[in-house]
């Protein structure tokens, strides 16, 4: 029987190199969140309040993203935590999604409460703050855009900033309509649109986070194709107990039992399997066990 591990799980997190950008994005979000909340309360603008609340989720979300990165970097695997805290960023991404759902429900509630008599909202203060918020969101959007392709954690913060960017455009539109026509419902309608617009993207983020936490196979990976490819390696008679999952962003893991028929040596079979998983399926960490036909029968007798 042979055991072999390919390259160990050593990267702290794909998002770690973006730490300075997250800190800067957090500072920007915090400053403009406070400005928007003050002006929203002073002007009774639901559109600005909706955007400010989204900015609050930016502050909380980016803070959680930073905490997850620092936790993953400082926490080494131990005898009781063999993978360390690498999944902290996935939990942070899921929490971000739940926050965004909560924001949408709150804004909708506020809009229903204002249906009968929408307040008069002054256009110029909302227009000015909306323009400043748009600039701040563009800067944060550019800071996080590249990291969103590598890390689910940063992608959560990035989606919130992107939603805020669209929200700022909505704030400007509502202010412009108010100044041009004096229509009181413009602010309320756009406020609801800002709150609801982000829901599909939030759903995707939550779905991806739960997929990792439930240890489903990585998106886009054909497990049947992987099984057939491993079984086609010379000397491999069968493959069973194949498991493939994502530990955190950019860290896919696999384990499997390979039934090897004599007289094939196990060493070349293991190396061929590892090279196949790495080159074709982009899985660099695999725990593979080789066994003879008799040992394979024992595995099939297990209850799960």
Domains of the chain, CATH where assigned: 16-213 (1.20.1510.10), 217-300 (3.30.70.1350)
pLDDT value of residue 303:
58
CA 88 to CA 70: how far, in whole Å? Answer: 10
- Please name which of 237, 239, 253 lies closest in space to residue 300, comparing C-alpha atoms: 239
pLDDT value of residue 214:
93
The answer to whether 288 and 4 are in contact (CB under 8 A) is yes
Please provide the distance, in angstroms rounded to a whole number, between the alpha carbons at the two ends of the chain. 22
pLDDT value of residue 74:
65
CA 223 to CA 209: how far, in whole Å? Answer: 20
- Please name which of 23, 88, 120 lies closest in space to residue 251, comparing C-alpha atoms: 88
Query: What six digits make up the tokens of 11?
Result: 């990267």
**174-205 burial string, b = 16+ CB within 10 Å, else e?**
bbebbeeeeeeebbbbbbbbbbebbeebbeeb
Collect the ranges in the chain with pLDDT lower than 70: 1-16, 68, 72-76, 152-153, 198, 296-304
Instruction: Read off the pTM.
Output: 0.70
CA 146 to CA 48: how far, in whole Å? Answer: 28
pLDDT value of residue 152:
67
Beta pairing partners, 3: 289
């Amino acid at each position: 029987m042979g055991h072999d591990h390919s390259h160990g799980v050593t990267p702290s997190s794909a998002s770690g190199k973006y730490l300075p950008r997250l800190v800067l994005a957090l500072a920007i979000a915090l400053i403009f969140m406070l400005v928007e909340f003050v002006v929203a309360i002073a002007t009774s603008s639901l559109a600005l309040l909706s955007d400010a609340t989204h900015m609050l989720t930016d502050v909380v979300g980016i803070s959680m993203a930073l905490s997850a990165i620092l936790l993953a970097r400082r926490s080494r695997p131990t005898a009781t935590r063999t993978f360390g805290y690498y999944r902290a960023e996935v939990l942070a991404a899921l929490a971000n999604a739940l926050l965004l759902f909560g924001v949408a429900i709150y804004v909708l509630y506020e809009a229903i409460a204002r249906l009968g008599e929408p307040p008069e909202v002054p256009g110029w203060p909302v227009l000015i703050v909306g323009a400043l918020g748009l600039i701040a969101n563009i800067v944060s959007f550019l800071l996080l855009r590249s990291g969103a392709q590598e890390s689910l954690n940063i992608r959560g913060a990035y989606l919130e900033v992107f939603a805020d960017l669209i929200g700022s455009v909505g704030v400007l539109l509502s202010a412009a309509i108010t100044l041009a026509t004096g229509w009181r419902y413009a602010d309320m309608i756009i406020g609801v649109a800002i709150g609801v617009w982000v829901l599909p993207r939030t759903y995707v983020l939550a779905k991806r986070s739960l997929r990792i936490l439930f240890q489903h196979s990585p998106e886009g990976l054909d497990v049947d194709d992987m099984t057939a490819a491993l079984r086609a390696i010379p000397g491999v008679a069968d493959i069973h107990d194949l498991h493939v999952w994502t530990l955190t962003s950019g860290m896919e893991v696999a384990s499997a039992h390979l039934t090897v028929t004599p007289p094939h040596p196990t060493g070349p079979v293991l190396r061929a399997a590892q090279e196949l998983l790495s080159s074709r399926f982009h899985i660099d960490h695999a725990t593979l066990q080789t066994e003879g036909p008799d040992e394979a029968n024992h595995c099939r007798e297990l209850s799960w």
